[in-house]
């Protein structure tokens, strides 16, 4: 059964008759629509919608893109897509290639593998999944073909996690890609349900102090081993920073995950948590949502005249 949100005419950004690639709202809107295109590609596959019945193409064609390749997982579901810009006149800042990844589907035959990959995110094992490895190789190939500045990444929810990890992995090889990450997953204790602001603030401070303390201990131990084998901490490979001054505790806590540090201190393998990145422009939609589904949805990110709050976090 077709949902109205899958159809471009009633649900898409019809106000974007001409995309201005120097306009941040336009860039974000197009990136979000290309993710919706991936959702529709998989739904078209499941519903066997082909030709004129397919609902996916309008979501990229309106912005001047063509579908270059579908990214297929081991269960034959479509989890990503490669789009190429086809317009003959490219203004400065126009990407030649955008690679998009969808989030978790709760219906259809793709949901089981999607849920398995979601669990891998919680366990910091996304890097081991065939889905990530496929995405990683695809991005490497496109960067080699088009260059760093011409390739963008985008994804929603689970797809944002994949795009983030790909971007981090590329950054460690000095390849920095523009990325639009919509509602990326963040595994944390649900302290936001606590109504008392002082209690919440106290919990955050306590967690930061503990994390910073464990970080110092683990880094001291890790520093000894790095001198022995010549390897560098993965986060340091992204960002050189002196941990001094008034913000020392907060910076140390931001760079590390308490669970990962404890595992490392115990001598067990632990991949760095997905959410640890050196800088980001965090955009929050200030329009009240009617529930979790709407608050987490992709459609809000191409709305006309959005009420957004943007904050830049930079720990370089």
Clarify whether residues 152 and 56 are in a common domain: yes
Containing H/E element for 160? helix 158-171
Clarify whether residues 93 and 47 are in a common domain: yes
Range of the domain at 245: 191-265
CA-nearest of 59, 60, 62, 57 to 18 is: 62
Clarify whether residues 199 and 285 are in a common domain: no
pLDDT tens per residue across all 316 residues of the chain: 567 889 999 899 999 888 889 899 999 999 999 999 999 999 999 999 999 999 999 999 999 999 999 999 999 999 999 999 987 666 677 899 999 999 999 989 999 999 999 999 988 899 999 999 999 999 999 999 999 999 999 999 999 999 999 999 999 999 999 999 999 987 654 444 555 655 444 544 454 444 444 444 445 555 545 544 555 444 444 433 333 333 444 444 455 554 454 445 555 555 666 667 778 888 999 988 888 888 899 999 999 888 999 988 876 5
Return the CATH number at 133: 3.40.50
Clarify whether residues 167 and 33 are in a common domain: yes
CA-nearest of 253, 146, 273, 149 to 206 is: 253
Give the Cα separation of 100 and 111 in Å (integer): 18
Instruction: Give, in order, the Cα–Cα distances in Å from 78 to each of 39, 44, 134, 159, 173.
Output: 8, 10, 12, 12, 28
Q: What is the tally of structural domains in the chain?
A: 2
Let me know if 58 is exposed, middle or buried by CB neighbors in 10 A (0-12, 13-18, 19+). Answer: middle
In a domain, 149, yes or no: yes
Clarify whether residues 52 and 150 are in a common domain: yes
In a domain, 271, yes or no: no
Clarify whether residues 141 and 46 are in a common domain: yes
What is the pairing mode between strands 178-182 and 279-285?
unpaired
Clarify whether residues 84 and 57 are in a common domain: yes
In a domain, 270, yes or no: no
């Amino acid at each position: 059964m077709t949902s109205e949100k899958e159809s471009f005419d009633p649900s898409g950004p019809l106000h974007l008759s001409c995309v201005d690639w120097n306009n941040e709202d336009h860039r974000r809107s197009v990136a979000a629509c290309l993710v919706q295109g991936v959702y529709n590609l998989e739904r078209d596959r499941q519903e066997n919608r082909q030709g004129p019945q397919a609902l996916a193409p309008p979501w990229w064609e309106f912005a001047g893109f063509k579908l270059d390749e579908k990214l297929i997982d081991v269960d034959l579901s479509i989890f990503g897509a490669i789009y190429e810009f086809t317009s003959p006149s490219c203004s400065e800042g126009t990407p030649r290639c955008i690679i998009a990844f969808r989030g978790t589907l709760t219906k259809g035959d793709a949901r089981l593998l999607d849920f398995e990959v979601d669990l891998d995110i919680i366990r910091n094992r996304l890097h081991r999944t065939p889905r990530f490895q496929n995405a990683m190789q695809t991005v490497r190939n496109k960067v080699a073909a088009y260059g760093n500045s011409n390739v963008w990444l985008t994804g929603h929810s689970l797809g944002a996690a994949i795009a983030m990890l790909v971007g981090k992995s590329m950054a460690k090889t000095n390849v920095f890609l523009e990325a639009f990450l919509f509602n990326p997953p963040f595994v944390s204790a649900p302290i936001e349900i606590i109504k008392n602001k002082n209690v919440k603030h106290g919990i955050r401070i306590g967690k930061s102090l503990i994390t910073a303390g464990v970080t110092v201990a683990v880094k001291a131990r890790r520093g000894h081993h790095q001198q022995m084998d010549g390897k560098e901490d993965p986060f340091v490979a992204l960002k050189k920073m002196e941990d001094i001054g008034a913000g020392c505790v907060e910076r140390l806590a931001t760079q590390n995950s308490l669970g990962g540090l404890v595992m490392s201190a115990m001598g067990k393998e632990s991949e760095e948590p997905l959410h640890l990145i050196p800088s980001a422009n965090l955009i929050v939609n200030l329009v009240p949502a009617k529930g979790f589904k709407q608050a987490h949805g992709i459609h809000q990110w191409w709305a006309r005249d959005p009420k957004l709050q943007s904050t830049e976090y930079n720990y370089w």
